Structure 1
Amino acid sequence: MELNLSPQLADTTIYEGEGGGYYAWTGAKFPVLAEAELGAGKLVLQPRGFALPHYADTDKIGYVIQGTCTVGLLSPNSPQEKVLIINEGDAIPVGEGIISWWFNGGESDTTIIFLGKSSKSYNPTGQFHYFFLTGALGFLGGFSTDFISKIYDFNEADAVKLAKSQTNALIFKVGPEINMPSQPNCNKDEYVFNLNDYSLITAENFPVLDKIGLSGSLVRLRPNAILEPSYSTDGSFRIIYVIKGSGRVQIVGLNGTRVLDSNVQKDQLFVVPKYFAVALLTNEDGLELFCVTTSSRPMLGQLAWSTSAWVGLSPPVLQAALNLSPEFVKRFKSKNQ
């Protein structure tokens, strides 16, 4: 099966207005997302922008590209929300069915990129689907007035007020008359990992990732540098977002076929299929990448440098496999040590 792996910008504006916007990569425009059962989205919140309480049908990791954000997390049937303050460089896992809300209490825009799996999506189209509790698209407004009245013991007028007062749909700007939560009420380290301190988060150092089957990493490359070729050995996909910079990416798949040879730039997304090898070269502005792997304990094989197969294989095996002289094989092995 031929895959179109060309890096893509977000192709769909889900919402944009006062308070911020949400933008998505969709399987309709980026088919590999549907084929690999992945999803990606970008949340932008203006100061005092508020994303209404919702849950999703997917597991994902959010990474703060810029700004600060107050986040509320509520597990199903839990008596109290967990309130966190996340900042640039923080990664926050959000599992399926977890209710969350997002509020920008800062003075500049906040941008968060979400990458994850769409394998459990109710409509497997390669994107995340959000179910809102309130607002124009919320559950409360979906039930009839008589149901709302009986469920919450309200008269008809109050039932309409409860279900219909909030006319905003996804994101809006909260007025100063409402004092939104501004202080955390839990240990941030249990829910958030800062990738500026640890460039790789797996279940080894963040056990909660075992619940969602994902891991994340931050890769920073200097100008004119190379990210050595690697491949997944456990059948996991990698979904990669370019935070800043530019460069060139090559992906090689079955039968040594180069399935991608493309330039990449800021705000683009690309996918590395399972078992395929990927390498990157940076331009003068370097590269910064956020990567999510569909395994909480990923295993990668290397094709260059000290941990690569070239170091582990014996010289006679390499001589035969490469059809090269012992002298050249010795030089080649030395380049990887």
Structure 2
Amino acid sequence: MELDLTPKLAKKVYGGDGGAYYAWCPNELPMLREGNIGASKLVLEKNGFAMPRYSDSAKVAYVLQGSGVAGIVLPEKEEKVLAIKKGDSIALPFGVTTWYYNKEDTELAILFLGDTSKAHKAGSFTDFSLTGPTGIFTGFSTEFVSRAWDLDETTVKALVGSQTANGIVKLAPGFKMPEPKKEHYNGMALNCEEAPLDVDIKGGGKVVLLNTKNLPLVGEVGLGADLVRLNGGAMCSPGMSCDSALQVTYIVRGSGRVQVVGIDGKRVLETTVKAGNLFIVPRFFVVSKISDADGLDWFSIITTPNPIFTHLAGRTSVWKALSPQVLQASFNVPEDVEKKFSSMRKAEEIFFPPPN
């Protein structure tokens, strides 16, 4: 069966004055189902409040735009209230309950990417609201809720039935929400735009990796991630994940060209990507990108917490490790052609600046 790797935009699932929730559908992006990956996006307007919920999937969240507050409750732990802003990445293991609030004029946009291998639907997140018309307690009888909460039935009916909005509401100006605590941020999130760079190539690009070293909680999520910022006109070396991981890529900013090559040397994707696009590279397939003049930034998750990549061009590529005789015989070229090939890209690593 031929894989459709065409990048897609998210579609609105629900929303109102407070904001909206968007998701990528596995029917339109089949690799989500094939790879057991979910992808969604939350956008909150000023005073927008995404009410408490938990999910059937472990996720990594990435703040695309704006700033706000996140509430996170790990199983049997206290609530952590974090100040979040553009560039923050948050690890969300199984069982966490979360809420989000935006008190600023700028929209707060958060991307969620995660593993749906244990979810109800492959390729989709299923969230369980604690309140509202689809909240968990609307399904229990008043008697059960009354006994569980040790409250009279009149109070229970008020608590369960008063919130008529689904998922996202707009709070009144001046409504007092919990204030974030600096100590709650540590160990829960990492700002990928401010973290030490793992790769920094002049004229080429920069990379920050998210793994168990700088955010141990991603080990519980089972995913790694990275933020890549490719300079205008630069190229990202053809490369692959060599530990059978899938790579799920969301274009954060800019635009550029992408090619993916798969089994039997067949080019399975050649397209232009832009901000908002999501695409998935299958296991062991090789991908390369060239940015347009304004550069290209992307955030990716990899379906292992400490991914290993192999590149097929540049100083650290497999070509540089192979002996000259093997290269000459494999390419079936004269010695002078092999020497010319081996002499190039000795300094550059995974990013190549634009040609002069």
Same fold (TM over 0.5): yes
- Conserved? CA contact 2:59–2:114, under 8 Å: yes
Counterpart residue type for residue 9 of structure 1: L
Distance 2:103 2:342 in 1: 54
- Conserved? CA contact 2:56–2:120, under 8 Å: yes
Distance 2:298 2:70 in 1: 23
Counterpart residue type for residue 99 of structure 1: T
- Conserved? CA contact 1:311–1:336, under 8 Å: no
1:137 matched to 2:146: no
Counterpart residue type for residue 67 of structure 1: G
Match of 1:75 in 2: 74
Note the alpha carbon deviations across 1:48-69, whole angstroms, 9 max, x for none: 1110101111111111111112
- Conserved? CA contact 1:214–1:294, under 8 Å: yes
Note the alpha carbon deviations across 1:15-41, whole angstroms, 9 max, x for none: 121110010001122111001101111
> Unpaired segments of 5 or more residues in structure 2?
196-207, 347-356
1:285 matched to 2:294: yes
Match of 2:20 in 1: 21
Distance 2:173 2:139 in 1: 29
Match of 1:148 in 2: 145
Match of 2:200 in 1: none
Matches within 5 A, 1:217-256: 217-256=226-265
1:47 matched to 2:56: no
Match of 2:156 in 1: 159
1:8 matched to 2:11: no
Distance 1:196 1:155 in 2: 50
**SS at 2:183's partner residue?**
coil
Note the alpha carbon deviations across 1:250-273, whole angstroms, 9 max, x for none: 111111111111111111100011
1:121 matched to 2:130: no
- Conserved? CA contact 2:251–2:275, under 8 Å: yes
Distance 2:294 2:329 in 1: 41
Match of 2:31 in 1: 32
- Conserved? CA contact 2:81–2:184, under 8 Å: no
Match of 1:327 in 2: 336
The Cα RMSD (Å) is: 1.3
Match of 2:178 in 1: 181
> Unpaired segments of 5 or more residues in structure 1?
none
**SS at 1:149's partner residue?**
helix
- Conserved? CA contact 1:55–1:98, under 8 Å: yes
- Conserved? CA contact 1:226–1:282, under 8 Å: yes
- Conserved? CA contact 1:310–1:336, under 8 Å: no
Note the alpha carbon deviations across 1:104-151, whole angstroms, 9 max, x for none: 122211111111211111222x11111111111111222111212222
Counterpart residue type for residue 118 of structure 2: K
Distance 2:114 2:247 in 1: 9
Distance 1:190 1:8 in 2: 32
Of 208, 223, 235, the match for 1:214 = 223
- Conserved? CA contact 2:83–2:182, under 8 Å: no
Of 98, 102, 106, the match for 1:100 = 98
Q: Where do 4+ consecutive residues of structure 1 move more than 6 Å? A: none
Of 308, 311, 326, the match for 1:317 = 326
- Conserved? CA contact 2:231–2:291, under 8 Å: yes
Q: Kindly tell me: are residues 177 and 161 of structure 1, through their superposed partners in 2, closer, same or farther at Cα, counting changes over 3 Å?
A: farther
Instruction: Report the TM-score, using the length of structure 1 for normalisation.
Output: 0.96
Number of residues of Structure 1 aligned to a counterpart in Structure 2: 334
Match of 1:301 in 2: 310
Distance 2:342 2:183 in 1: 51
Distance 1:336 1:116 in 2: 36
- Conserved? CA contact 1:229–1:277, under 8 Å: yes
**SS at 2:186's partner residue?**
helix
- Conserved? CA contact 1:215–1:296, under 8 Å: yes
**SS at 2:29's partner residue?**
coil
1:87 matched to 2:85: yes
Distance 2:180 2:225 in 1: 26
- Conserved? CA contact 2:187–2:216, under 8 Å: no
Match of 1:258 in 2: 267
Instruction: Report the TM-score, using the length of structure 2 for normalisation.
Output: 0.91
Q: Kindly tell me: are residues 38 and 322 of structure 1, through their superposed partners in 2, closer, same or farther at Cα, counting changes over 3 Å?
A: same
Q: Kindly tell me: are residues 208 and 336 of structure 1, through their superposed partners in 2, closer, same or farther at Cα, counting changes over 3 Å?
A: same
